[in-house]
Amino acid sequence: MEDALATVDDLQDRLDWVLDEGEQGVATGALEDLSDDARFYGSSSWDSTNAPRQVRSLVLRAAARFMRNPDGYTQSRAGDETLAWADRGEDAGSAFFTKKEQQMLARLAGVSSTSVMSVPLQAWGPSKKTGPGYVPLDPSGYEKKPRDFPLFAEEYI
C-alpha cells in the first residue's frame, strides 16, 4: 500500500477537538482511502513527497469533513433546532471527495474533462444497393420507380 498523502497530525490541526485512540485509527483509514482516491481521480504517481500542496489540502478537507460526521448523518435535531447536510447524499458515512473536488484533482493532474472520440455515422433513410458506377437519383426512396445515374470511376471506363 502506498503512503497516505497527509498525516493524522496534519488532520488534528484542522479539527477543534483532540482525537482519541479510536478516532485516530478511523482517521488513519480515512486518510489512506482518500489518498488512494486522490490518485485515482488525479495521478497515480502522487506520493507524500511529490503531490501538489492542493492535493494534500483536498485530502485533509475531505478527511476533516468525514471526521466531523463519521456516522453519515444527513440531519440532526436538538430541541427545536435542526441541522441538515444536503451535500452528503449517498456517500454519507464514508470518506469521499465531492464532484467539485474530483474535478480539481483531475485538473491538478492535467487530466482534461473533455474527450476526443470518433463516432460512427450512418445515412438516414432506406438504403438502396446499386451496382458499381451508379448512384441513385432519389436517395430518399420515395420515387415509385427509382432511377440510377451512371457515375463511373476511371476503372469502369
**Residues 85 and 73: beta-carbon distance below 8 Å:** yes
Determine the average pLDDT of the residues in 13-23.
Answer: 94
**pLDDT in the model for residue 21:** 95
Which pLDDT band holds residue 82 (cuts at 50, 70, 90)? confident
Distances (CA, A) of 101 to 34, 104, 105: 11, 5, 6
Q: Is the pLDDT of residue 67 over 90?
A: yes
CA nearest 148: which of 129, 135, 131?
Answer: 135
**Grid cell 456517500 in the structure block, residue:** 91
Under the banding of pLDDT at 50, 70 and 90, the label for residue 84 is: confident
Q: Is 80 exceeded by the pLDDT of residue 142?
A: no
pLDDT band at 79; cut points 50, 70, 90: confident
Quote the Cα angle for 18-21-24, to 5°.
70
Question: Cβ neighbours of residue 76 under 8 Å, at least 6 residues apart?
Answer: 82, 83, 84
Q: Is the pLDDT of residue 141 over 80?
A: no
User: How far is C-alpha 123 from the chain's CA centre?
Assistant: 34
Domain ranges of the chain: 8-108, 126-157
90-107: average pLDDT: 86
CA distances from 16 to 31, 67, 129 (A): 18, 11, 76
pLDDT band of residue 94 (cuts 50, 70, 90) is: confident
